[in-house]
C-alpha cells in the first residue's frame, strides 16, 4: 500500500512538472478535456435545473389532474382545419360534469384571455396576465398568500368585482402600502383587492403568478358573454385520490359526448389531457436534450483524449533514460506502467476540475443575474470527475504500456 501511495505521489510530481516545464503544450493538450467536461456537465446541469424547476412548479398539482378543452396541448393526428371547428367547452358543461361525474374531487372553469392594463390612482401596470376562474381554482392550483384570501363561492357565482393580485403587480401599484380593500381599475370597472400572493419567481414557461391577477370568471361572462373570440375556456378536473384514472377519464368523455349529442362512431370534438402525460413528454424531451449534449461533447472528449495520449508519448520519450535507470535498479514493468497511467489520469483530472470550476462559476453567475436557479449537483460533479479519470485511463494506457516494455539497456543508451 505504501508503495502505491509513493507511486501516486511521484506520478503527481511528474504531472505537475509536465505542467510547469511544458506549459503551452500541456495546456493545449488538456484544453480538449476541459472543454469536453465543461460541455457535458454544463448541458446536464442546465437540463437538470430546468427539470427541477418544472417538477417544482408542478409539485403542487395532482399528476392525475385533467384539462378539458377544444385544443390539444401536444401533437394531434386530427387535421388543424377540423380542430378549429371544434366548439369551446362551456360553463354549462362545466356545471353538468361537476354535478354528474362520479369520483370528481374538484373542478374549475377558467378563461384564457388577452393581457390587460391595471390602474391605481396615477400608477399603471401593463401586460398583466388576467386569470378569470371559478372559486375552486385555488384548490386545484394551490397558491400561497402574502395577505388576504381568494374569492369565495358566492363572489364567484355572482361575478363580484373582487381581485387577487400577484406579488409584482401589488408591489408596482402599492409599493409598501397594504393593498387589501383598495380599489383598482380593470376592464373599465373598479375591483376591490381581497388578496395578494407571495412571490413565486420566474415561471417555467414564461408566465408567473407574480405578474397575474385572478378575478371571478362570471364577471367576464356577464360583461362579454359566453361566445367571445378573445377568450378561450378550459375545464380543469381533479379526480378523487385512488380513483382509476382511465375509468374516470372515460366517464368524463362519455358524459360530455352525451351532453353534446355525439353518436357512436363520431369522433370527439374536444380534447382531454392528463397532467401525467405532459410530465412524461417533458421527461422524454429532457432525455433527448441530454443525449444531444453527450453527442456534441463526445467530440471534445475524443480530441482531448488524443491530446493527452500525445503528451504522454512525448513524456515517455523525454524520460526514456530515467525509465532505463529505474528498471536497472529493479523497477518492475507494472511499476512503470502504473506510474505513467497515474500521470495521465492526474493530468486529465486537472483538466476536468477546471471544466467543473467553469461550470460552477457560470451557474453561480446566472443564478444571481436571472430569477432562475442553476444547480450543479453532486452527482454531476462525480460524473465529471469520473469521466476525466476515464479519459486519462483510456488515453494513457498505450503510452504506459510502451514505457513499461522498454529494454533498460536500450533505454539508457537512447537517453544518453
- The SS3 assignment for 161 reads coil
Distance separating alpha carbons of residues 303 and 300, to the nearest angstrom: 5
User: Smallest Cα–Cα separation from 135: which of 112, 118, 116, 158?
Assistant: 158
Whole-number pLDDT of residue 415: 52
Q: Report the phi/psi class of residue 144: left, alpha or beta, with left for phi > 0 and alpha for psi in -120 to 50.
A: beta
Distance separating alpha carbons of residues 283 and 50, to the nearest angstrom: 11
Q: Considering only residues 222 and 332, tell me which one the structure prediction assigns the higher pLDDT.
A: 222
Whole-number pLDDT of residue 398: 84
Whole-number pLDDT of residue 370: 73
Residues with Cβ within 8 Å of residue 321, at least 6 apart in sequence? 411, 412, 414, 415, 416
Distance separating alpha carbons of residues 292 and 415, to the nearest angstrom: 47
pLDDT tens per residue across span 97-107:
998 888 888 89
User: Is residue 20 over pLDDT 70?
Assistant: no
pLDDT tens per residue across span 380-391:
888 888 888 888
Could you tell me the residue ranges of all domains in the chain?
Answer: 2-57+283-415, 87-269
| DSSP bridge pairs for 212 | 129
Q: Considering only residues 34 and 148, tell me which one the structure prediction assigns the higher pLDDT.
A: 148
Whole-number pLDDT of residue 331: 66
Q: How many residues does the chain have?
A: 416
pLDDT tens per residue across span 83-94:
888 888 999 999
In this prediction the pTM is: 0.65
Q: Considering only residues 155 and 277, tell me which one the structure prediction assigns the higher pLDDT.
A: 155
Of the listed ranges 50-64, 337-351, 358-372, the one predicted with least confidence: 50-64
Amino acid at each position: 500500500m505504501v508503495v502505491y501511495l509513493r507511486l501516486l505521489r511521484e506520478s503527481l510530481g511528474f504531472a505537475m512538472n509536465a505542467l510547469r516545464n511544458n506549459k503551452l503544450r500541456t495546456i493545449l493538450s488538456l484544453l480538449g478535456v476541459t472543454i469536453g467536461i465543461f460541455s457535458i456537465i454544463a448541458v446536464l446541469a442546465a437540463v437538470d435545473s430546468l427539470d427541477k424547476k418544472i417538477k417544482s412548479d408542478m409539485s403542487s398539482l395532482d399528476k392525475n389532474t385533467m384539462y378539458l378543452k377544444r385544443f390539444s396541448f401536444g401533437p394531434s393526428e386530427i387535421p388543424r382545419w377540423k380542430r378549429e371547428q371544434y366548439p369551446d367547452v362551456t360553463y354549462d358543461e362545466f356545471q353538468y360534469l361537476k354535478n354528474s361525474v362520479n369520483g370528481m374531487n374538484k373542478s374549475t372553469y377558467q378563461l384564457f384571455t388577452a393581457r390587460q392594463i391595471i390602474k391605481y390612482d396615477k400608477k399603471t401596470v401593463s401586460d398583466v396576465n388576467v386569470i378569470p376562474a371559478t372559486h375552486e381554482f385555488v384548490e386545484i392550483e394551490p397558491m400561497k398568500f402574502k395577505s388576504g384570501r381568494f374569492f369565495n363561492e358566492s363572489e364567484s357565482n355572482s361575478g363580484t368585482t373582487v381581485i387577487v393580485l400577484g406579488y409584482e403587480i401589488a408591489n408596482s401599484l402599492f409599493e409598501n402600502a397594504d393593498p387589501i380593500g383598495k380599489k383598482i381599475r380593470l376592464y373599465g370597472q373598479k375591483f376591490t383587492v381581497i388578496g395578494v400572493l407571495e412571490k413565486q419567481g420566474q415561471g417555467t414557461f414564461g408566465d408567473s403568478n407574480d405578474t397575474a391577477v385572478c378575478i371571478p370568471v362570471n364577471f367576464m361572462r356577464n360583461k362579454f358573454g359566453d361566445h367571445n373570440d378573445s377568450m378561450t375556456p378550459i375545464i380543469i378536473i381533479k379526480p378523487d385520490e385512488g380513483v382509476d384514472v382511465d375509468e374516470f377519464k372515460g366517464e368524463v368523455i362519455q358524459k360530455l359526448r352525451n351532453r353534446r349529442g355525439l353518436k357512436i362512431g363520431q369522433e370527439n370534438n374536444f380534447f382531454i389531457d392528463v397532467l401525467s402525460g405532459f410530465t412524461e413528454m417533458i421527461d422524454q424531451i429532457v432525455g433527448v436534450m441530454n443525449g444531444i449534449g453527450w453527442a456534441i461533447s463526445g467530440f471534445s472528449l475524443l480530441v482531448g483524449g488524443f491530446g493527452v495520449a500525445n503528451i504522454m508519448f512525448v513524456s515517455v520519450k523525454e524520460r526514456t533514460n530515467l525509465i532505463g535507470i529505474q528498471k536497472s535498479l529493479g523497477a518492475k514493468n507494472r511499476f512503470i506502467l502504473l506510474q505513467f497511467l497515474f500521470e495521465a489520469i492526474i493530468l486529465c483530472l486537472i483538466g476536468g476540475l477546471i471544466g467543473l470550476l467553469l461550470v460552477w462559476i457560470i451557474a453561480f453567475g446566472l443564478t444571481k443575474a436571472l430569477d432562475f436557479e442553476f444547480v450543479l449537483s453532486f452527482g454531476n460533479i462525480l460524473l465529471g470527475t469520473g469521466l476525466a479519470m476515464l479519459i486519462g485511463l483510456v488515453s494513457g494506457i498505450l503510452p504506459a504500456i510502451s514505457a513499461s516494455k522498454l529494454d533498460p539497456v536500450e533505454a539508457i543508451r537512447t537517453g544518453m
